[in-house]
Amino acid sequence: MNFADASARLQIASDLVYRYGKRIGDDKMQLLGAWAAGQREKGVAGMDSLGRQLPAIFNAAALRAAPQSQPLVRDVWLPGIQVMAARLDEGSARGLYLAAQGGHNAESHNHNDVGNFVVYGDGQPVIIDVGVETYTAKTFSSRRYEIWTMQSAYHNLPTVNGVMQSAGRNFEATEVAYRAEEGAAELRLNIAKAYPPEAGLKAWRRTLRLDRAANVVEVRDRYALSQPSGQISMTLMCARRPVEQSPGRIALDGPPLPSGPVRVEFDPRQLTPRIEEIAIEDNRLKHSWGERLYRLLLVAERAPQEGEWSIRIRQGR
C-alpha cells in the first residue's frame, strides 16, 4: 500500500524486518524479511543504508537459514492511521485486492488523499496511488500541494465544482467504520471534512467494499451539498489503459491476468467518462510505472444537491 510519499515498487529492509519480527514474536514478519533477503540475492531489491548493513552482517547466517515467503494476509485494519486492506484468500494473490484509507491531511509525508483507495488484480496494479516524484526543495516547501501527485484530483477521489481537498489536521475523515467477514470486507467513512468550505459539502459518505464471492470492488458514494454543484468529477488513476466498451463499461486494457480482465462499471445516466493519458517524465515515477499512466474521470455535469452512485471494479470473463 503505497499511500502518501511511498513508492509503488518497495525495497524492503529485509534484515530490519526480520529482526523486528523476531523481537516481537511475529512469524509473518520474519517470513517476509527472509523472503525479501532472498529477492535481494536474486538482484531484485537494492541495498540498505550503511547503518542497517552493519548490524545485518551479524545476522546474515540466521537470515539465510530462515524460512521465507510472502504472508499475503487476507484482512488488515490499522486503526491508528485508518488503513484497511483485503484480498480474496489468505496466502494468495488471486483476484482483486482492495486497500483504502481514512485519516487526515496533516500526516507525515502527507498527500491530500482522505478516502483514497487502490485495487490490484492477481497481484498487478489496476487502480493506483501514483506515489511521489523525486524529492526537490519544492516537495517540502509551502508549494508542496502545487505538485500534481500530492493533489486529491490525482487520487481516486471526487472533485466538487473544481474544488479539491485541503492540507491540514482539520481536514479529516469522520464516521469511520471497518468490518471484515468471510464474504466481504469494507470501510465506511465520511470525507466531507477533508474539503474546504467552498466545496459546499455537507456530507460525502463513501463505502469501499470487496465482495470476495463475486470478485468485485464496489465504491458507493452518497453526498449532500449546501447548494447545487456545477460539476462533480470522480477520478480513477489507472495503470492500465481505459477503453470504453459500451455505455457504463470501461475495460482496463493490459497484459492478460489469470483471473480474467478488469473493467469499471457505472450508470451512464449519472456519469460520463473522460480519459486522459499522463506522460511520466520523473525518473522515480518511471521506475514504478514506466512511460505513462491514465486518469479516468467519471463526470456528473449537473450534479443534484443530493445524490448517490456506485462504481464497480469487476474481474472475470
94 part of a folded domain: yes
Burial of 65: CB neighbours in 10 Å, binned 0-12, 13-18, 19+: exposed
- Between CA 126 and CA 99 the distance in angstroms is 12
Instruction: Provide the number of structural domains found in the chain.
Output: 2
Residues 98 and 35 both lie in one domain? no
- Residues 135, 42 share a domain: no
Residues 35 and 179 in one domain: no
How high is the pLDDT of residue 10? 83
Q: Could you tell me if 51 and 101 lie in one domain?
A: no
Q: How many residues can be counted in the chain?
A: 317
Asked whether residue 9 is assigned to any structural domain, the reply reads: no
> Same domain, yes or no, for 48 and 195?
no
Element at 277 (helix H, strand E): strand 272-279
Same domain membership, residue 55 and residue 105 = no
**What crossing angle do the helices spanning 14-24 and 50-57 adopt, rounded to 10°?**
60
Q: Are residues 176 and 270 in the same domain?
A: yes
The CATH number for 247's domain is: 2.70.98.70
142 in a structural domain: yes
138 and 230 assigned to the same domain: yes
Q: Would you say residue 208 lies in a domain?
A: yes
116 falls within a domain: yes
61 and 92 within one domain: no
Domain boundary, last residue among 65, 83, 98 = 65
Domain boundary among 65, 84, 103: 65
Residue 16 and residue 11: Cα distance in Å, rounded?
12
Contacts of 195 (CB under 8 A, 6+ apart): 160, 163, 164, 165, 166, 171, 201, 204
Report residue 182 as a C-alpha cell.
Answer: 468471510
My answer on whether 53 and 192 are in the same domain is no
pTM for this model (two decimals) = 0.95
Cell 529485509 locates to 14
Q: How far apart are CA 227 and CA 304, in angstroms?
A: 9
- One digit per residue, the tens of pLDDT, for the chain of length 317 reads 899 999 999 888 899 999 999 999 999 999 999 999 988 777 655 556 788 888 899 999 999 999 999 999 999 999 999 999 999 999 999 999 999 999 999 999 999 999 999 999 999 999 999 999 999 999 999 999 999 999 999 999 999 999 999 999 999 999 999 999 999 999 999 999 999 999 999 999 999 999 999 999 999 999 999 987 789 999 999 999 999 999 999 999 999 999 999 999 999 999 999 999 999 999 999 999 999 999 999 999 989 999 999 999 999 98
Same domain, 33 and 82: no
Q: How far apart are CA 174 and CA 166, in angstroms?
A: 15
The answer as to whether 232 is a domain residue is yes
**Residue 8 included in any domain:** no
**23: containing domain:** 14-65
Same domain, 114 and 217: yes
- Specify the pLDDT at position 308: 97
